[in-house]
């Protein structure tokens, strides 16, 4: 007599999704009534120049986030459909990390020298290039796609934030409105990634054989529209010379221990987020149950959206605390969460809850670090500082991928544990940053 084994399917927890959506809505709706900020993007009567800049910039940023999200949502599934095996996928990840380490590190300095607008255009061109090659050749070289998309992701991390801060400073608006933009960018990036998933599913329409090129065509169209809009909308004045930039970088970045502490925290965040997106799916399905990962993905990004809406409550709202203290608590919470996951707990519901909590912390951390960069980093050096701070994280990711993919000398749980330790060390660095701030107050490089 045969034995029939019924496969168990884990269904996503609907109350969790509803809680995240309602919490985000309440946080956004209630905050302006309880905040003392002078003008926000939600107001109807801020200065026209500020309102026009914010809305145009956020439109460009959202389209860029959708382009980034299209690959992250569809890329791995597309490679599996075209018969790319595990070794080739691992090679793609290694190429991506190596490109970010050896080429992406210098892109921030390049943006400071030639202009953030030009580097943002390069971001669009890289996505356009990959999309065109996918359209023409169905599945282009892994090397080409990995290198181009890696460089585009490196540019995305620093370019739009730096560009927004510099243009904002030229307009001479208050720091409060800049803080507003920091959390809005984190919020809209996550919302745009969810939109990428929706758009991709709609374009494919459950028939990948006929519609596999549709996401690439859509990405190419977005890239072209963004290139045209950026080229016509913004002008950029000549920047500093290389010798002046080099001298200023040494003075304000290399010789300031506060920048090192801030850079280490940024590096730990980048490493932990990269490890999470590489391993979250294998971790969830490790107990053998069938899980609809596409239903969990929006919950994770929703958690980040909720965390970003908490930022103004802690910075300017009724729960106002020092930014360094806020980061210490967020880093400790995220580090503990990753440590629990590294312990290899296999209950899917608990894992999803922990992953959402982790992304809530990340949603709070990202705008908080951006705010501290405004205090400590000159605007003309911001891109170089951010890209340089990512170098240790990219090196650690590359090392872990080599050890895991080829030598198999470390386990997935070990990589997650490393990210947890890194986040806890970032909390320590923020504590030291707070202590140094007491000895020497913030040197704010932004106009009030």
Q: Check residue 112 and give its pLDDT.
A: 87
Question: Could you tell me the two tokens for 166?
Answer: 């510099």
pLDDT in tens, 347-388: 788 888 899 999 999 999 999 999 999 989 988 889 999 999
DSSP reduced 3-state for 104: helix
In the prediction, which pLDDT does 30 show?
Answer: 75
Q: Around Cβ 370, how many Cβ atoms within 10 Å?
A: 24
- The pLDDT of residue 10 is 65
Give the pLDDT band (50/70/90) at residue 272.
Answer: very high
Rounded CA separation 153/139 (Å): 20
| Mean pLDDT score, 80-84 | 62
Flag the least confident range among 1-5, 82-86, 281-285, 317-321: 1-5
**Structure confidence at residue 121 (pLDDT):** 92
The pLDDT of residue 279 is above 50 = yes
For residue 268, name the pLDDT band (cuts at 50, 70, 90): very high
- What confidence tier does 13 reach under pLDDT thresholds 50, 70, 90? low
Whether 227 has a pLDDT exceeding 90, the answer reads: yes
Report angle CA 108, 110, 115 to the nearest 5 degrees.
Answer: 100
pLDDT band (50, 70, 90) for residue 232: confident
Checking if the pLDDT of 401 tops 60, the result is: yes
For residue 125, is pLDDT > 70? Answer: yes
Over 70: is that where the pLDDT of 6 sits?
no
The pair of structure tokens assigned to 374 is: 């405004």
The contacts of residue 226 (CB under 8 Å, 6+ apart) are 60, 63, 64, 67, 124
Unique residue bearing structure tokens 């605390």: 321
Q: What is the pLDDT of residue 77?
A: 62
Burial class (CB in 10 A: 0-12, 13-18, 19+), 440: exposed
Percentage of the chain beyond pLDDT 70 is 80
Question: What pLDDT, on the 0 to 100 scale, is given for residue 366?
Answer: 95
- Does position 281 have pLDDT exceeding 50, yes or no? yes
| pLDDT above 90 as % of the chain | 33
**Binning pLDDT at 50, 70 and 90, where does residue 5 land?**
very low
pLDDT digits (tens, 9 = 90+) for 21-51: 877 777 777 764 444 444 455 554 556 677 7
> 161-209 pLDDT, tens per residue?
998 888 888 776 666 778 888 999 999 999 998 888 888 878 776 555 5
Question: Does residue 66 register a pLDDT over 70?
Answer: yes
Give residue 1's pLDDT: 38
Please list, in sequence order, all residues whose beta carbon lies within 8 angstroms of the beta carbon of residue 22, skipping any fewer than 6 positions away.
none
Q: What average pLDDT is seen over the chain? A: 81
Q: pLDDT higher for 346 or 218?
A: 218
Answer whether 31's CB lies under 8 Å from 313's CB: yes
Asked whether the beta carbons of 195 and 69 are under 8 A apart, the reply is yes
Q: Please report the pLDDT score of residue 298 as a whole number.
A: 87
Pairing type for strands 290-291 and 9-10 reads: parallel
Asked whether residue 444 carries a pLDDT value surpassing 60, the answer given is no
Confidence of residue 72 (pLDDT cuts 50, 70, 90): confident
Q: Is the pLDDT of residue 70 over 50?
A: yes
Measured over the CA atoms of residue 201, residue 205, residue 211 and residue 212, the dihedral's sign is positive
Most confident of 197-206, 328-337, 342-351: 328-337
3-state percent helix, strand, coil for the chain, nearest multiple of 5: 80, 0, 20
Distance of CA 99 to the CA centre of its chain: 17
CATH T-level fold of 50-439: Growth Hormone; Chain: A; (1.20.1250)
Higher pLDDT, 145 or 324: 324
Tell me how crowded residue 231 is: count the other CB atoms within 10 A of its CB.
12
Cβ neighbors of 412 (< 8 A, separation 6 or more) are 279, 282, 283, 404
Residue of higher predicted confidence among 204 and 311: 311
Q: Are 84 and 70 in contact (CB under 8 A)?
A: no
pLDDT given at position 443:
53
Q: Is 294 left (phi over 0), alpha (psi -120 to 50) or beta?
A: alpha
pLDDT mean over 310-317: 81
**Domain layout of the chain by residue ranges:** 50-439
pLDDT: which is higher, 53 or 385: 385
Among residues 265, 275, 310, the alpha carbon closest in space to that of 428 is found at 265
Give a three-class secondary structure readout of 320-365.
CCCHHHHHHHHHHHHHHHHHHHHCCCCCHHHHHHHHHHHHHHHHHH
Q: Is 246 left (phi over 0), alpha (psi -120 to 50) or beta?
A: alpha
Give residue 361's pLDDT: 95
Q: What's the mean pLDDT in 216-234?
A: 87
Lowest mean pLDDT among 95-99, 135-139, 150-154, 158-162: 135-139
């Amino acid at each position: 007599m045969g034995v029939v084994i019924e496969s168990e399917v884990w269904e996503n927890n609907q109350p969790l999704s509803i809680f995240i959506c309602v919490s985000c809505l309440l946080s956004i709706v209630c905050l302006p009534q309880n905040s003392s900020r002078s003008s926000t993007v939600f107001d109807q009567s801020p200065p026209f120049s500020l309102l026009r800049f914010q809305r145009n910039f956020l439109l460009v940023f959202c389209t860029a986030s959708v382009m980034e999200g299209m690959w992250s949502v569809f890329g791995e599934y597309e490679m599996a459909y075209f018969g790319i095996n595990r070794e080739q996928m691992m090679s793609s990840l290694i190429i991506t990390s190596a490109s970010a380490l050896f080429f992406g590190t210098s892109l921030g300095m390049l943006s400071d020298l030639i202009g953030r607008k030009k580097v943002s255009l390069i971001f669009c061109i890289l996505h356009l290039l990959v999309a065109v090659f996918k359209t023409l050749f169905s599945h282009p070289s892994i090397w080409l796609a990995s290198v181009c998309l890696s460089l585009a992701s490196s540019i995305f991390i620093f370019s739009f934030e730096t560009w927004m801060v510099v243009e904002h400073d030229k307009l001479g608006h208050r720091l409060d409105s800049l803080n507003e933009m920091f959390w809005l960018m984190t919020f809209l990036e996550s919302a745009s990634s969810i939109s990428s998933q929706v758009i991709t599913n709609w374009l494919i329409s459950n028939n990948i054989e006929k519609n596999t090129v549709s996401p690439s065509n859509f990405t190419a169209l977005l890239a072209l529209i963004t290139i045209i809009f950026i080229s016509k909308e913004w002008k950029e004045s000549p920047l500093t010379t290389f010798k002046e930039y080099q001298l200023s970088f040494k003075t304000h970045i290399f010789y300031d221990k506060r920048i090192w502490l801030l850079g280490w925290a940024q590096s730990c965040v980048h490493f932990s987020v990269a490890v999470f997106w590489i391993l979250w799916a294998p971790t969830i399905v490790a107990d053998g149950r069938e899980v609809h990962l596409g239903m969990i993905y929006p919950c994770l990004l929703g958690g980040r959206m909720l965390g970003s809406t908490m930022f103004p409550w802690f910075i300017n709202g009724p729960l106002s605390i020092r930014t360094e203290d806020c980061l210490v608590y967020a880093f400790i919470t995220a580090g503990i969460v990753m440590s629990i996951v590294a312990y290899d707990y296999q209950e899917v519901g608990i894992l999803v809850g922990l992953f959402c909590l982790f992304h809530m912390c990340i949603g709070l951390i990202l705008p908080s670090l951006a705010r501290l960069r405004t205090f400590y980093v000159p605007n003309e050096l911001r891109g170089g500082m951010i890209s340089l701070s990512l170098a240790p994280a990219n090196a650690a990711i590359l090392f872990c991928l080599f050890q895991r993919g080829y030598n198999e000398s470390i386990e997935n749980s070990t990589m997650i544990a490393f990210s947890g330790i890194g986040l806890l060390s970032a909390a320590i660095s923020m504590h030291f940053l707070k202590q140094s701030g007491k000895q020497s107050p913030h040197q704010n490089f932004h106009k009030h």
